[in-house]
Structure 1
Amino acid sequence: MRRALLAITGLAASTTAMVVLKSGPGASQVAQELPAAGQPVAPAPDGPAPTDGGAGPEASPSGAASPRPRRSATRAPATRPTAGATSGARLPSAPRTSSAPARPTTRTVTGPVVENEYGNVQVRITLSGSRIVDAVALELPEETAQSDQRSQQVDDRYSGTSGLVVQQQGADLDTVSGATATSTSYRQSLQAAIDRAN
């Protein structure tokens, strides 16, 4: 009577396990691994070794192998969270900020050619951001020795990185003595270049 009860209990347990496993994910693979009722269960080649001295599967008192199924090895592998991740979700990285201040852009602006009775005058300025850092006379009157000398005086006083244009940061400059026409033409071309730069 005890043997019959054990056999029925084992059969009921295997049927219940098959129903539960068939309804779960990956049931088709698990169901294929389950033995048919009444067949002996062999240990898996990669499973744990028997601890009962190599006797094999549990035996019922009648000597028949128990139809209880073994655990399936088809569980999803455990995943380790990556560094900086929480619950498998990747956190957004903080925006990168630059500690260096933005360098101002350098540009050049050329004024128009301004004519006077001694010749033509044209000025080009170089700016770093909105600051004038250099002024160059592209054209100055050179028709006579006297106009050439006066043009040289205007250029020396107004132009360059340390001239009055850079010092004053504008066209409000004193007239060079003896070179009024050239000084005026220089300031007109300079003011037009400043206006174009703004």
Structure 2
Amino acid sequence: MRKIALVFAATVSVLVLLFSYRTSTHSGALATAPQNRAPAGSSVPSAPSGTNPPSGTSSTPTGTSGTPTGTYDGGAADTRYGPVQVEITYTAGRITAARTLRTPSESGRDIEINNAAVPTLIQETLQAQSAHIDTVSGATYTSEGYAESLQSAIDAAHG
């Protein structure tokens, strides 16, 4: 009976230690890291996360051929971790730049994920020229919110 009690106590102790182990390795320095970085070749720098620009469009008139030209804001897409909002720039009917206006930034981990994912999403946007882009592994919610806001911006550009 004493042996059973000892094994039970040891098992409980190991479980308590296991569940209290912190797996996150990010440091407090991440909270001051830049929120989003545009990929090389992008002509529009990214704005810091947490900014709240107005929704809607801020554009120049479309060209005479009916192709969109100007800068268009997508609506903010709510995700599990916070809103994602995208701005795109059209030149002669092609998306020539994209940037995030808002991304989740409640924790250092949010910032870390978005700093890795947003440049990939921007690059995908410029290559695909549509909202049909791949989800970034490890940033599913940000990717889905980005695609939703991107589609909203594309819709705004095409009237």
**Shorter-normalised TM range:** 0.5 to 0.7
Q: Number of residues paired by the alignment?
A: 94
Please report the TM-score for the alignment, with normalisation by the length of structure 1.
Answer: 0.45
Please identify runs of 4+ aligned residues in structure 1 that moved more than 4 A: none
In structure 2, give the amino acid aligned to 1:171: A
Name 2:55's counterpart in structure 1. none
* Within-5 A mapping of 1:1-198: 106-159=69-122, 163-198=123-158
**Deviation, structure 1 residue 112:** 0.3
| Percent identical | 39
**Deviation, structure 1 residue 106:** 3.8
Larger radius of gyration, structure 1 or 2?
Answer: 1
Q: 1:107 to 1:146 in 2, by over 3 A?
A: same
The one of the two structures with greater contact order (alpha-carbon pairs below 8 A, sep at least 6) is: 2
Q: Secondary structure of the residue that 2:152 maps to in structure 1? A: helix
Name 1:63's counterpart in structure 2. none
Q: Secondary structure of the residue that 2:78 maps to in structure 1? A: strand
Higher helix share: 2
Which runs of 5 or more structure 1 residues have no equivalent in the other structure?
A: 1-101
Q: Secondary structure of the residue that 1:166 maps to in structure 2? A: helix
Matches of 2:131 and 2:106, distance apart in 1: 25
Q: What per-residue deviation string (whole Å, max 9, x for no partner) do you get for residues 136-188 of structure 1?
A: 100011111111111112211022xxx11111101111111111011000000
8 Å contact kept, 1:135–1:158: no
Q: Secondary structure of the residue that 1:149 maps to in structure 2? A: helix
8 Å contact kept, 2:121–2:136: no
Q: What per-residue deviation string (whole Å, max 9, x for no partner) do you get for residues 70-113 of structure 1?
A: xxxxxxxxxxxxxxxxxxxxxxxxxxxxxxxx9x8740010001
Please report the TM-score for the alignment, with normalisation by the length of structure 2.
Answer: 0.55
Matches of 2:69 and 2:108, distance apart in 1: 36
